[in-house]
């Protein structure tokens, strides 16, 4: 019997689960390897659990989702988060520094119907996560590689070093050194193929923190480039802003101004 | 006695044409994205003519140079390394069969490459890489196949960047080995020498005539002036012992507070050869590629073995890199791993300078 796979959505834009469909050439082969028991974006058939692999997209932002993720965990053998929202809280974690009541009143004409939490938190703050795939969006080849490892009964492995290594493998000229461009590459996890620096732009940090990083030294580098205070804080408090090393550095930068 | 020849500036175009006609892919310094890097040359006008570069720790800018000067830019972002030790290449393919599996080696079949404008430091680096990849019976076939047919046109340095210290490492500024043809640029042409039978044949094909004595003297004077003007130094005296003895020097922690651990220094280093090998499985599980990729002693996973990471701190990793490069490399391969090209200084985003680190450790050791 083929492994039963489920794809769940929490607070997110759907871009990460769309990477399954973006697999294009590989999609039919993937469908031959697994049974998509629950994948509402791809098919209307929705089968009940238990599932062998649950891919979870999105962060937890409502009381209902906080309960639902516990159910997902209970019915899944492996729970894999896909993307910045599920893994780090996403861009919507900006609410974690704001007054949610004020947002609710400002945005919605009938705020009494809105049931929300005051925070956006990653899945790992709620349940045990077996593996995290970073990125905004995730890379489809990483998604397929992790899936393949699970099908083989092997522990998935994804590189967690800096974007710089990938950038240099591609033969790019460093945008920091040759252009003075602020770039999160030195502290960001690889996985995108050094996409932005390959187009002469600084890295935005879509894949979250690299496993080896020195945020104090990086904050000094930004300052040397004239990026200080709130501007420096905003560089880090983006898509992956709520993940700890970036959160702490951004908080310190915001206080310092 | 190797005869020195005169080559007019227009001879460069002729040289590129001949090399291309002989089936070489010709690579040379080309300005792109704010720096000079090796790239394909179709004509001599692809070269960064009239340009120079301003380098310092953590900074590189192309700047206007002297009109008509062809090799004014000393060195650029990339070395020769990726053309021989590829950054990302498949070594093997493993296919599932009805019973068991079949392993087949993937052999590269590149066209021969000719490199124009190679500096002495980069040739010295290639000789070091040869010792690593073509050592005795451990020969790396992927490296070897790219290496064997390559043609090198060296350019002797007549100016140095502030980050250069090849004089300390005894690798430059003049190319003394490893080239087929060497050129020294003068305002009205080049002084050319052959360094191999292939270079000798090229001189004949180019129809060069002997250089007048004053040109030879002028070329010599320019190289000597470049060497004399090189400010940056690395004191290599008893360096292995110094670094081994100072393994616990507090300077390692101090430099680690500045180091991003991003690995750029090792990526741009023309001799760093660390790599990782990963298996990339096809989705159906019937085929897998074994791929070699550049890695670095600065990446955390590089020191991760079963159940433990033996270089968890940045200070551990910086010490590993510098001590290997300048000390244990000598024990391992019989020469220093550093050629003094200065790329690790220029291309470090935070401008960490190994010559400064060694000097600080030496000064501190001297106090005790």
Question: Is there a single domain that holds both residue B282 and residue B211?
Answer: no
| Facing A168 at nearest CB: one of B32, B58, B267 | B267
Question: Is there a single domain that holds both residue A22 and residue A91?
Answer: yes
Q: Provide the edge-to-edge strand list for the sheet that holds A35-38.
A: A35-38, A4-9, A51-57, A76-82, A131-133
pLDDT value at position B136? 79
Q: Identify whether B148 is part of a domain.
A: yes
Residue written as tokens 């925070």?
A119
| Chain B contact set for A172 (CB, 8 A) | 33
The domain boundary residue, chosen from A83, A118, A151: A151
Name the residue range of residue B205's domain: 5-228
The CATH number for A24's domain is: 3.40.50.700
Question: Is there a single domain that holds both residue B338 and residue B207?
Answer: no
Question: Is there a single domain that holds both residue A79 and residue A201?
Answer: no
DSSP 3-state of A89: coil
| Chain A contact set for B268 (CB, 8 A) | 168
| Residues 6+ away with beta carbon under 8 Å from B207 | none
* Contact call for B264 and A211, based on CB within 8 A: no
| Chain A contact set for B59 (CB, 8 A) | 177, 180
The domain boundary residue, chosen from A99, A124, A151: A151
Question: Is there a single domain that holds both residue B262 and residue B320?
Answer: yes
pLDDT digits (tens, 9 = 90+) for A41-55: 999 999 998 999 999
Nearest residue on chain A to B294, alpha-carbon basis = A169
Q: Among residues B335, B330, B326, which one has the least CA distance to residue B358?
A: B326
CA distance A172 to A247: 29
CA distance B139 to B116: 26
pLDDT digits (tens, 9 = 90+) for A152-206: 999 999 999 999 999 999 999 999 999 999 999 999 999 999 999 999 999 999 9
| Facing A169 at nearest CB: one of B259, B293, B314 | B293
CA distance A172 to B37: 9
Count of beta carbons in the 10 Å neighbourhood of residue B96: 14
Name the residue range of residue A171's domain: 163-256
The domain boundary residue, chosen from B175, B203, B228: B228
pLDDT digits (tens, 9 = 90+) for A14-44: 999 999 999 988 999 999 999 999 999 999 9
| Chain B contact set for A179 (CB, 8 A) | 34
Tell me: cis bond preceding B173? Omega within 30 of 0 counts: yes
Size of interface A-B (CB pairs under 8 A): 130
CA distance B161 to B231: 9
Question: Is there a single domain that holds both residue A19 and residue A133?
Answer: yes
Question: Is there a single domain that holds both residue A9 and residue A135?
Answer: yes
Counting other chains too, the contacts that B301-310 makes at CB distance below 8 Å and 24 or more residues apart are B301/A159, B301/A160, B301/A161, B301/A211, B301/B276, B302/B274, B302/B276
pLDDT value at position B230? 96
Q: What is the average pLDDT score of chain A?
A: 95
* Contact call for A174 and B347, based on CB within 8 A: yes
B214 at A interface, C-beta within 8 A: no
Question: Is there a single domain that holds both residue A171 and residue A241?
Answer: yes
Q: Identify whether A65 is part of a domain.
A: yes
If phi over 0 gives left and psi between -120 and 50 gives alpha, with beta otherwise, what is residue A33? alpha
Residue written as tokens 């791929």?
B291
The domain boundary residue, chosen from B193, B228, B263: B228
HSE-CB at B232 with a 13 A cutoff on CA atoms is 22
Q: Among residues A90, A72, A92, A91, which one has the least CA distance to residue A80?
A: A72
The token pair that represents B132 in the structure block: 């690593």
Question: Is there a single domain that holds both residue A116 and residue A200?
Answer: no
* Contact call for A168 and B87, based on CB within 8 A: yes
Question: Is there a single domain that holds both residue A60 and residue A116?
Answer: yes
B284 at A interface, C-beta within 8 A: yes
Beta bridge partners of B293: B88, B276
DSSP 3-state of A32: helix
The domain boundary residue, chosen from A151, A174, A198: A151
pLDDT digits (tens, 9 = 90+) for A66-105: 999 999 999 999 999 999 999 999 999 999 999 999 999 9
pLDDT exceeds 60 at position A8:
yes
Beta bridge partners of B185: B190
Cβ atoms of A93 and A241 closer than 8 Å: yes
DSSP 3-state of A190: coil
Question: Is there a single domain that holds both residue B165 and residue B39?
Answer: yes
pLDDT value at position B1? 46
Mutate to test the interface with A, among B80, B283, B310, B313 (most CBs of A within 10 A): B283
Nearest residue on chain A to B88, alpha-carbon basis = A169
Helix (H) or strand (E) holding A252: helix A244-256
Beta bridge partners of A30: none
B151 at A interface, C-beta within 8 A: no
> What tens-digit pLDDT sequence spans chain B (368 residues)?
468 999 999 999 999 999 999 999 999 999 999 999 999 999 999 999 999 999 999 999 999 999 999 999 998 888 999 999 999 999 999 999 999 999 999 988 889 999 999 999 999 999 999 999 998 788 999 999 999 999 999 999 999 999 999 999 999 999 999 999 999 999 999 999 999 999 999 999 999 999 998 999 999 999 999 999 999 999 999 999 999 999 999 999 999 999 999 999 999 999 999 999 999 999 988 999 999 999 999 999 999 988 899 999 999 999 999 999 999 999 999 999 999 999 999 999 999 999 999 999 999 998 87
Count of beta carbons in the 10 Å neighbourhood of residue A36: 17
| Facing A30 at nearest CB: one of B260, B278, B283 | B283
Mutate to test the interface with B, among A146, A164, A171, A224 (most CBs of B within 10 A): A164
Residue B295 distance to chain A (closest CA, Å):
7
Question: Is there a single domain that holds both residue A133 and residue A203?
Answer: no
Helix (H) or strand (E) holding A146: helix A140-151
Question: Is there a single domain that holds both residue B159 and residue B261?
Answer: no
Domain count, chain B: 2
pLDDT value at position B137? 80
Question: Is there a single domain that holds both residue A119 and residue A246?
Answer: no
Question: Is there a single domain that holds both residue A181 and residue A72?
Answer: no
CA distance B221 to A52: 74
Mean pLDDT, range A119-125, rounded to an integer = 98
| Chain B contact set for A178 (CB, 8 A) | 33-35, 60-61, 77
B285 at A interface, C-beta within 8 A: yes
Question: Is there a single domain that holds both residue B207 and residue B125?
Answer: yes
* Contact call for A187 and B260, based on CB within 8 A: yes
Q: Identify whether A206 is part of a domain.
A: yes
Mutate to test the interface with A, among B254, B257, B262 (most CBs of A within 10 A): B262
Q: Provide the edge-to-edge strand list for the sheet that holds B88-96.
A: B101-105, B88-96, B287-294, B275-281
The token pair that represents A177 in the structure block: 């050194």
Residue A63 distance to chain B (closest CA, Å):
37
Q: Identify whether A157 is part of a domain.
A: no
Q: Identify whether A158 is part of a domain.
A: no
Question: Is there a single domain that holds both residue B182 and residue B51?
Answer: yes
| Chain A contact set for B77 (CB, 8 A) | 173-174, 178
CA distance B317 to B256: 9
Max distance between CA atoms of chain A, in angstroms, equals 59
Question: Is there a single domain that holds both residue B162 and residue B303?
Answer: no
Question: Is there a single domain that holds both residue A42 and residue A100?
Answer: yes
Query: CA of B36: how far to CAs of A39, A163, B60, B68, B273, in Å?
Result: 49, 22, 10, 17, 22
pLDDT value at position B350? 98
Residue B281 distance to chain A (closest CA, Å):
7
The domain boundary residue, chosen from B196, B228, B260: B228
Q: Would you place residue A116 in the very low, low, confident or very high pLDDT band (cuts 50, 70, 90)?
A: very high
Question: Is there a single domain that holds both residue A28 and residue A111?
Answer: yes
pLDDT value at position B306? 87
Helix (H) or strand (E) holding A57: strand A51-57
Domain count, chain A: 2
Q: Among residues B343, B292, B77, which one has the least CA distance to residue A171?
A: B77
Q: Among residues A116, A168, A41, A199, which one has the least CA distance to residue B296?
A: A168
- What does the radius of gyration of chain A's CA atoms come to, in whole angstroms? 19
CA distance B173 to B161: 11
Question: Is there a single domain that holds both residue B42 and residue B100?
Answer: yes
Looking at chain B, which runs of residues are DSSP E strands? 5-7, 25-32, 35-40, 51-56, 59-64, 88-96, 101-105, 113-118, 134-135, 138-139, 151-155, 181-186, 189-194, 209-210, 275-281, 287-294, 304-305, 308-309
* Contact call for A178 and B60, based on CB within 8 A: yes
Q: Identify whether A156 is part of a domain.
A: no
B295 at A interface, C-beta within 8 A: yes
């Amino acid at each position: 019997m083929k492994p039963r796979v489920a794809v769940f959505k929490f607070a997110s834009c759907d871009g990460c689960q769309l990477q399954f469909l973006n697999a294009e050439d590989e999609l039919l082969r993937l469908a031959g390897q697994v049974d998509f028991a629950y994948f509402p974006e791809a098919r209307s058939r929705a089968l009940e659990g238990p599932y062998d692999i649950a891919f979870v997209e999105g962060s937890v932002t409502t009381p209902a989702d906080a309960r639902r993720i516990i159910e997902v965990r209970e019915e899944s053998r492996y729970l894999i988060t896909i993307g910045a929202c599920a893994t780090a809280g996403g861009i919507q974690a900006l609410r974690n520094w704001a007054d949610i009541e004020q947002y609710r009143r400002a945005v919605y004409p009938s705020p009494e119907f809105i049931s929300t939490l005051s925070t956006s938190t990653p899945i790992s703050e709620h349940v045990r996560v077996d593996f995290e795939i970073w990125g905004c969006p995730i890379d489809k080849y990483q998604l397929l590689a992790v899936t393949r490892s699970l099908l083989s009964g092997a522990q998935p492995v994804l590189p967690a070093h800096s974007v710089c290594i990938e950038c240099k493998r591609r033969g790019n000229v460093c945008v920091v050194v040759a252009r003075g461009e602020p770039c999160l590459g030195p502290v960001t996890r690889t996985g995108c193929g050094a996409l932005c620096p390959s187009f002469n732009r600084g890295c935005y940090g879509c894949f979250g923190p690299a496993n080896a990083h020195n945020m104090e030294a990086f904050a000094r580098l930004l300052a040397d480039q004239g990026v200080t205070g709130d501007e420096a804080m905003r560089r880090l408090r983006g898509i992956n802003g709520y993940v700890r090393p970036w959160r702490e550095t951004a908080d310190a930068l915001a206080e310092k101004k | 006695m190797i005869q020195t020849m005169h080559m007019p500036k227009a001879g460069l175009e002729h040289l590129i044409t001949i090399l291309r006609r002989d089936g070489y892919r010709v690579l040379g310094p080309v300005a792109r994205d704010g720096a000079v890097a090796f790239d394909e040359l179709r004509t001599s006008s692809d070269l960064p003519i009239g340009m120079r570069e301003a380098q310092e720790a953590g900074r590189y800018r192309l700047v206007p140079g002297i009109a008509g000067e062809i090799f004014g830019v000393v060195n650029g972002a990339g070395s020769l390394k990726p053309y021989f030790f590829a950054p990302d290449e498949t070594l093997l393919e493993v296919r599932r069969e009805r019973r068991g599996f079949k392993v087949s080696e993937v052999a590269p079949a590149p066209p021969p490459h000719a490199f124009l404008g190679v500096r002495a430091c980069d040739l010295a680096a290639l000789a070091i890489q040869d010792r690593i990849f073509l050592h005795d019976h451990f020969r790396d076939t992927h490296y070897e196949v790219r290496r064997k047919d390559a043609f090198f046109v060296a350019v002797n340095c007549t100016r140095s960047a502030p980050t250069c210290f090849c004089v300390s490492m005894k690798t430059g500024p003049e190319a003394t080995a490893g080239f087929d043809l060497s050129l020294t640029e003068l305002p009205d042409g080049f002084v050319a020498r052959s360094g191999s039978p292939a270079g000798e044949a090229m001189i004949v094909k180019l129809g060069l005539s002997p250089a007048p004595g004053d040109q030879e003297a002028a070329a010599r004077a320019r190289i000597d002036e470049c060497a004399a003007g090189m400010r940056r130094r690395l004191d290599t005296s008893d360096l292995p012992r110094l670094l081994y003895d100072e393994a616990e020097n507090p300077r390692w922690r101090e430099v680690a507070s500045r180091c991003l651990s991003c690995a750029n220094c090792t990526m741009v280093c023309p001799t760093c050869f660390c790599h990782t090998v990963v298996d990339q499985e096809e989705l159906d599980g019937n085929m897998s590629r074994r791929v070699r990729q550049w890695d670095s002693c600065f990446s955390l996973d590089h020191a991760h073995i079963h159940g433990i990471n033996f270089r968890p701190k940045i200070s551990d990793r910086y010490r590993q890199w510098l001590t290997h490069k300048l000390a244990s490399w000598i024990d391992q391969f019989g020469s220093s791993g550093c050629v003094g090209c200065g790329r690790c200084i220029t291309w470090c985003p935070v401008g960490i300078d190994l010559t400064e680190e060694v000097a600080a450790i030496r000064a501190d050791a001297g106090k005790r």
